[in-house]
């Protein structure tokens, strides 16, 4: 499966965050940086709660311990750089889980209705996003920046149906879509005490075939 390039969803102007106080075991990658998994409950709640009620669809997001462990391994491999290395983290993550990765700037195309026209078919994409690196942000602020970016750049752009008024004919098929997702967050701390955050999340689109009645 061909790896696609990842575009960061971090909002413009977001800089660094303070040391993550989440749970989990710390681990060093041997070059002076420490990787620490985040608290899954806070980011899961934020991803669910921050979705705008005016969106066409709701993505039901849950925690994923495997994704969390894989993200920590990927971030540990890349280490602290002091800049956005989400593409490199995504490449390492792909080696671990093989999940096809979406382009954050092109979510509408990745989940376009015309691409999923099989009843019961599910399509999953994975995204990696970043916030860092000068201790200006708390963990809570990092979580909220990820959640708001998820709403604006992903959830708000997902299609609800392939039905097209005037084009879908009576007796013709169309597809409604439901969505689920998973999310994990990890921090990496430099020897000087600066911290960067990475979040990885999946979105799964499932199609349900419908027939337009008269």
Identify the top-confidence range among 138-142, 145-149, 160-164, 203-207. 203-207
Closest CA to 90 of 73, 106, 105: 73
Q: Which pair of tokens denotes residue 10?
A: 């971090």
Residues linked to residue 210 through DSSP beta bridges, in sequence order: 174
pTM for this one?
Answer: 0.79
Report CA 86 to chain centroid distance, whole Å: 11
Are the beta carbons of 199 and 183 closer than 8 angstroms? yes
H or E segment to which residue 43 belongs? helix 40-49
Classified as helix, coil or strand, 130 is strand
Are the beta carbons of 174 and 73 closer than 8 angstroms? no
Residues contacting residue 55 through CB under 8 Å, at least 6 positions apart: 151, 155, 156, 158
166 — pLDDT class (breaks 50, 70, 90): confident
Which carries the bigger pLDDT value, residue 194 or residue 52?
Answer: 52
Interval 167-204: pLDDT, tens: 888 888 999 999 999 999 988 887 777 788 999 999 99
Are the beta carbons of 131 and 12 closer than 8 angstroms? no
Q: CA 168 to CA 127: how far, in whole Å?
A: 32
Report CA 113 to chain centroid distance, whole Å: 20
Interval 54-104: pLDDT, tens: 999 999 999 999 999 999 999 999 888 878 888 899 999 999 999 988 876
**E strands of the chain, at which residues?**
27-28, 34-37, 59-63, 122-131, 173-189, 195-211
Interval 7-26: pLDDT, tens: 333 333 332 222 222 333 44
């Amino acid at each position: 499966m061909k790896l696609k390039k990842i575009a960061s969803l971090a909002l413009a102007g977001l800089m660094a965050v303070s040391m993550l106080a989440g749970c989990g075991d710390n681990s060093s990658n041997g070059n002076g940086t420490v990787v620490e998994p985040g608290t899954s409950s806070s980011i899961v709640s934020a991803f669910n709660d921050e979705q705008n009620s005016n969106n066409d669809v709701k993505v039901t997001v849950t925690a994923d311990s495997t994704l969390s462990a894989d993200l920590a391994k990927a971030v540990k491999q890349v280490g602290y750089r002091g800049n956005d290395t989400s593409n490199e983290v995504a490449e390492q993550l792909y080696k671990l889980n093989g999940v096809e990765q979406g382009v954050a700037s092109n979510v509408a195309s990745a989940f376009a209705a015309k691409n999923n026209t099989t009843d019961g078919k599910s399509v999953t994409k994975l995204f990696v996003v970043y916030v860092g690196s000068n201790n200006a942000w708390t963990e809570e602020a990092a979580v909220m920046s990820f959640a708001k970016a998820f709403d604006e750049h992903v959830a708000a752009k997902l299609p609800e149906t392939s039905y097209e008024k005037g084009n879908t004919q009576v007796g013709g098929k169309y597809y409604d879509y439901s969505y689920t997702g998973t999310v994990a967050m990890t921090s990496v701390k430099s020897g000087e005490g600066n911290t960067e955050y990475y979040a990885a999340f999946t979105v799964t689109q499932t199609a349900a075939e419908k027939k337009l009645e008269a």
